Amino acid sequence: MKIDLTAEQKETQAAFRAFVEAEIAPNAHCYEQEQRLPADLIVKLAEQGYFGAVLPKAYGGQEMDMITYGVLNEELARGSSSVRGLVMLQNMIGYTIQRWGNDAQKDRWLAKIAAGEVITSLALTEPEAGTDLKEVGTTATLDGDTYILNGYKQWISLGQISHLFLVLGQYQGRLCAFLVERETPGFSTKPMSDLSGLRATMLAEISMKDCRVPQENLVGAVGFGLAPVAFAALNLGRYSIAWGCVGIAQACLDACLEHTSTRKQSGVYLKEHQLIRHMITDMIVNVKAARLLCFQAGYLTDARDANSFVETMVAKYFASTTATRTANDAVQIHGAIGFQESHPVQRHLRDAKIMEMIEGTTQIHQVKIAEYSY
């Protein structure tokens, strides 16, 4: 069986790549230096329809199949993983509302998310609750027709600029998910900066002190916060990250192919050295394997196959570790040039390492993939 893109998907991929090469890649270093994504870029991404990639057309979405959405994430990550993270979050929150939100929530938010009028964040992580979300300490109490939220979140991507947050909290010992607007009284954010990777994702700490949220802002039902609401968002996030890691690895491979074809050592081009060829071969094989695992996860997701959840974990685990190894070798091959702050391979290495931590660490994936296989 041949696994490949259709003619239409290849044409769409070319359009994705052209946009990235024109609008993102030339400016990615500036985004990292300034530690933010500019407003004009957000407008351009929205105009391309990327924020509603997986949303229904009725809400201004693109209704992309999972393979096309995966390719979008690969191409974006070739240019900037921070930009890919923004697109991922818009689709994660939009998809979660579309899947588990009520009609009023869908009507109020989905078209605005797809149009980029509303920027979104997923507020799960806390100082004592990262991998194990059951330990979330944020609490909710019901007072008439409003929930009162109290708690603290950290490492929240896009938290500095988001208008809408999907917040995980405990209500009577049961995990619940709430939609919280930035302007809600008692809700505040504090910028976080100088992360080693993904520097332009505009991280923030979030504080909620007697933050009153309308009862209709509960997503799903009481007790639905972790499974299925948070899991729905995280699974789509893992899929995006897996493809994004393929993009990181491919970008590093491309950089190495160019560098080894122009840089000479001992009188011959680097590509003529046997050890360099061995390193390039490992890159090629691992990138191809990671991409095929992403294809598998995408096909199964579109087919609504029960194994799609595990296969997405497999793809994220292999692709993220591949991205780190490939980026590490890319820096090694480039030598001192690869350590220059303006060179993409060092940025890809820093970003790749973070990919091994978010939406489930490498070690958690090692445990869970085996657990689900028995």
Farthest CA pair distance, the chain: 79
Domain ranges of the chain: 7-115, 120-225, 226-373
Grade residue 1 by pLDDT with cuts at 50, 70 and 90. Answer: low
Give yes or no for residue 364 having a pLDDT over 70.
Answer: yes
Note the pLDDT tens digit of each residue in 149-166.
999 999 999 999 999 999
Structure tokens at 334: 């480039």
Closest alpha carbon to 148 in 184, 106, 190, 183:
184
Share of the chain above pLDDT 90, in %: 87
Structure tokens at 242: 């897996």
Closest alpha carbon to 76 in 33, 15, 120, 32:
15
The CATH code for residues 7-115 is: 1.10.540.10
Distance between CA atoms of 99 and 342, rounded to whole angstroms?
Answer: 41
How many contiguous H segments (helices) and E segments (strands) does the chain have?
11, 10
Judge contact between 373 and 317, C-beta under 8 A: no
Sign of CA pseudo-dihedral 71, 158, 223, 107: negative
For this structure, is 11 an active site residue? no
Give the contacts of 203 (CB within 8 A, at least 6 positions apart). 155, 156, 157, 159, 160, 191, 192, 193, 195
Closest alpha carbon to 301 in 288, 315, 289, 290:
315
Distance between CA atoms of 259 and 240, rounded to whole angstroms?
Answer: 29
Average pLDDT rounded to a whole number, residues 245-258:
97
Note the pLDDT tens digit of each residue in 60-71.
999 999 999 999
Fold of 120-225: Butyryl-CoA Dehydrogenase, subunit A; domain 2 (2.40.110)
Sign of CA pseudo-dihedral 142, 148, 151, 154: positive
Rounded to two decimals, the pTM is 0.95
Average pLDDT rounded to a whole number, residues 183-206:
95
Closest alpha carbon to 79 in 25, 34, 16:
25
Share of the chain above pLDDT 70, in %: 99
Kind of pairing between the strands at 120-123 and 164-171: parallel
Note the CATH architecture for domain 226-373.
Answer: Up-down Bundle (1.20)
**What string of DSSP letters covers 165-217?**
EEEEEEETTEEEEEEEETTSTTEEEEE----SS-TTS--EEEEEEEEEEEGGG
Grade residue 7 by pLDDT with cuts at 50, 70 and 90. Answer: very high
Strand partners, 147: 142, 213
* pLDDT at residue 2, as a whole number: 65
Which residue is catalytic, options 8, 11, 359, 371? 359
